[in-house]
Each structure stands twice: as structure tokens, then as C-alpha cells.
Amino acid sequence: MPGLTKRKYDAETMRLSKGLTRPLSLIVDTMKPGYSKEDLLQTFMFYYPFEWSTICERCHIYKEKDRFLIKKGKKKRYNSLKPEEFFYSLPKVNYLLSNGFREKHKLHYDEKKRVACDNNLKSKRIARIEKKKSSILANTKGQQRVDPGFIEALAYAYHKKGNTTDDKLEICKEIKKYDCDKTWEFFWKLNDSERNDQIRSFAFQCLQKSGHYAKLRKRFKGKRKQYMTDRSSFEGTPEGLANKLSDNQSVQNMKSYDLFISHSYKDREFVSDVVSDANKAGYNCYVDWTADNDFLKRSLVSDYTKEVLKARMRQSQKLLYLSSSNSRESAWVAFELKFYQEVVKNEIIMMVLDGEDSHDFKIIDRQRVE
């Protein structure tokens, strides 16, 4: 098995190397005579940022696998190079950096042709890069770019004996809500070793659609056991989440938040900006339509929704009230402020989006989340 695994790794390395031959041929036509190996790498990173990201993440993953093998008292298997070393080891790169090719490049150099090649490649690559970025943005909408501190606890709970496919998928969906190293490490491991087809496919798609390195794993060989083919029809409801939050052993009670964002859904575009700023400051935010989007559906609003919000407010260190003409007329916002003041009794801070607000809360600037 180790030999087979290594051969698969080597075969993937070869395919990756061949796949970079054409891009390298295109970028060298945009370079001036006397280019260095650093110039070649920087140009490649500029025109092919996602391909470079794949190289970096792949190197990281296999280096971690070797580290794990050593920890278990076994020999290294992959001996993965650092990203820069891998790039410079590519046959095409070695050829482009050879004295013979660089002399030939200098001899046939034409500045007008170089500029034309540069402009042509730039127009094509920038369009493709922006398209890729837009696709990633659409697939990661609502995802918070912060480590909430409980990813490890959720990952540990994932491997709890007796977990159903529903339980595992729920945990996967919770972890997916955060863009941090621990999230991608978790999904890389699932994509590598999870034997349930649905869960492994979920992990692969999370990685791929988020722009991360992912290798599609074929089905495991041998007899197909039931847990490998079990499928979850996970369908969350406010009542279901309320019941989970009343159970101290539920994974939903592992979650905690720095800020509970009390707001009107009509101000959702501004809410996204606030959450982004808060994430940059290291704060994990609770926004009902993203943090609990698998359960709190607007078509199913009920008293159970209130119970969920009460539980989430108890899990939050502070409440950030976004005061606007919309939120000042919202019965839901009024309910949240009243409950947080009277029951939770933690600090409430306020950001005034428009008009005036008579509440005696600490006001923070729109450009700064404390």
C-alpha cells in the first residue's frame, strides 16, 4: 500500500508538471532578456495565482503527511519540496533557465512582440482570474474569515463513536462557515480518508469551490459497507435547532460568539461589511441568516426562532445593535435588545447607520468595530 500511494503521488506530480508546461511557455514570451529565476517565479505567480496556490497547498499537505508518518515511527514517504523548490525543479523551468535557452531568447528578442504577448496574456489571464474570484466569492458568501476557536472541538465531535451521517454532515456544515486554516485542514483529511461517499464528496466540493487544492478521491476498494453508502437528508428547522440547543451534549452548544449582530434584514448589505470588519479585528459574529442558515428559514419563523435567538445571545460576549430607520421599527430587534439587557446583561454597543437613536448604549464609529 505505501508503494502504491507513493506511485500515485509521483503520477500526480508528473501530471501537474505537464499541466504547467504551456503556461510557462506563455509567460517567458512576456519577459525581457536577462531574466532571473526569481523573475520567472514572480511572473508565474502574477499570471497564474491559483496554480501557484495549488502548488503551495499541495506541498503543505504532503509535508504534513510525512510529519504524521514520522510521529508514528515510520519513514517519510513523499519528501515534498518547498513550493519554490518544487517550481525550480520543474523540467520546463530548468529548460527556460538554461544558458542555452536564455541566449536564444536574447538573440531573437523583439520588444514590440514582447509587449504584444504581454498585453494579450494579461487581458486573457486577468479575465480568467476575476472569473475565478467571482466564482469563489459566490460559493463562500456568508463565510466568516476568522478562527472562531471551536473548530477543533467540532472536529473532535465529528469522530465521536455512534455519530450518524446526519450528525457528521451537520458538523461539516458548521465548520464550512469559517474560512481559516483549521477548516481546510479538516476538509483535506475528510477528502483523504472519509469512507462515506456523501461526506467525502461534500469535503471535496467545499475545497474545490473555495479555490483550494483538492484531489478527487475514488471510491474505496473492497466490499461496500452500509455506512459507506448511507446518505443524509439533513433538513434543519427552527424547532430542530431549538431542541439541539436545549441539549448540553449537542455540537450546537460548542459554539460561541464575540458579537451578536442585532439588525434589520433590510440592512443586510451593510451587515456583511460590519462582519468583514469585525473578522479583520479577530471577532466571530452571529448573524442569524448566515450562522444558522441551515435551520432558520424565513418561511418557518415561529416561537422556536425566538428560542434559538435567546440561546445564541447567551453564547455571545457582546451585542452590536445596528440602529437604522429599518431596525428601529423592527419588533425582532426590540425583542433582542430587551432580552439581552434583562437576561444576558452583557455589554450592548451601538452603531448608528442613519437618523438618531435614543438608546443610551455606547456608540462606536461605522469604520471601527471594537
Is the pLDDT at 37 greater than 80? The verdict is yes
What pTM, to 2 d.p., does this model score?
0.90
Which neighbouring-strand residues pair with 285?
259
Residue/partner pairs of 235-240 with CB below 8 Å, 24 or more apart: 236/170, 236/294, 236/295, 236/297, 237/295, 237/297, 237/300, 237/304, 238/295, 238/296, 238/297, 238/300, 238/301, 238/302, 238/304, 238/305, 238/307, 238/308, 239/302, 239/304, 240/295
What is the C-alpha to C-alpha distance for residues 163 and 153, in angstroms, rounded to an integer?
15
pLDDT for the residue 300: 85
pLDDT tens across 78-100, in order? 999 999 999 999 999 999 999 99
Is there a contact between 351 and 323 (Cβ–Cβ < 8 Å)? Answer: yes
Which residue, 149, 190, 196, is CA-closest to 172? 190
Task: Give tens-digit pLDDT for 271-305.
Answer: 999 999 999 999 999 999 999 999 998 888 999 99
Q: Select the CATH number that applies to the domain covering 238-363 from these four: 3.40.50.460, 3.40.50.10140, 1.10.20.60, 2.30.30.280.
A: 3.40.50.10140
Q: How confident is the model at residue 24 (pLDDT cuts 50, 70, 90)?
A: very high
Which candidate in 84, 336, 347, 370 is catalytic? 336
Q: What is the pLDDT of residues 199-209, one digit of tens each?
A: 999 999 999 99
- Please indicate whether residue 235 is annotated as part of the active site: no
Write the CB contacts of 327 (distance below 8 Å, at least 6 apart in sequence): 262, 263, 264, 267, 321, 333, 353
Is the predicted pLDDT of residue 223 greater than 80, yes or no? no
Torsion sign across C-alpha atoms 331, 334, 335, 336: positive
Contact of 195 with 165, CB cutoff 8 Å: no
pLDDT band at 2; cut points 50, 70, 90: low
Query: C-alpha angle with apex 174: 284 to 133, nearest 5 degrees?
Result: 75
- For residues 249-288, one letter each, b for 16 or more C-beta atoms within 10 angstroms of the residue's C-beta and e for the rest, the string is ebbbebbebbbbbbbbeebeebbeebbeebbeeebbbbbb
Domain coordinates in residue numbering, the chain: 2-139, 151-229, 238-363
- Asked if 215 and 191 touch (Cβ cutoff 8 Å), the reply is yes
User: Are the C-beta atoms of residues 147 and 280 closer than 8 Å to each other?
Assistant: no
Convert the pLDDT of each residue in 160-193 to its tens digit: 998 999 999 999 999 999 999 999 999 999 999 8
Q: Residue 211 to residues 132, 170, 187: CA-CA distances in angstroms?
A: 8, 22, 13
Average pLDDT over residues 146-168: 94
